[in-house]
Amino acid sequence: MLFDALILPDGESGVGTLDGHAHPLQFLRLQYWHCKPILAFGALQALLADAQIPMTLADGSPDEGLILANAADADEAVAACFSSMAAHRHYGRDNQRSVA
């Protein structure tokens, strides 16, 4: 992947625009499969479910590369995302799990 991380900003209009379109959801899945950090704010967190991205690792532990936040916690979330980017990839993700 050419991207080091993916940040999904908040906004209901973004969900309406991106949801149901194959290309944005496929891009989100590819970021996940390539073990890249993903930061999702507010309403755009719904795209993770639409893309069938697991919220935890296969063993049930938290995925340190998947950061969910609201706008009020933006500073902490962005700092966590940058910290997550330092790992480059999050190999704890079970790449054998089926994500449609």
Instruction: Please give the model's pTM, rounded to 2 decimal places.
Output: 0.85
pLDDT at 39: 96
pLDDT digits (tens, 9 = 90+) for 29-82: 999 999 999 999 998 898 998 889 999 998 889 999 999 999 899 999 999 999
Report the b/e string of 27-59 with b at 16+ CB within 10 A. Answer: bbbebbeebbbbbbbbbbbbbbeebebeeebee
Q: Is the dihedral of CA 17, 19, 23, 26 positive or negative?
A: positive
Mean pLDDT score, 3-31:
87
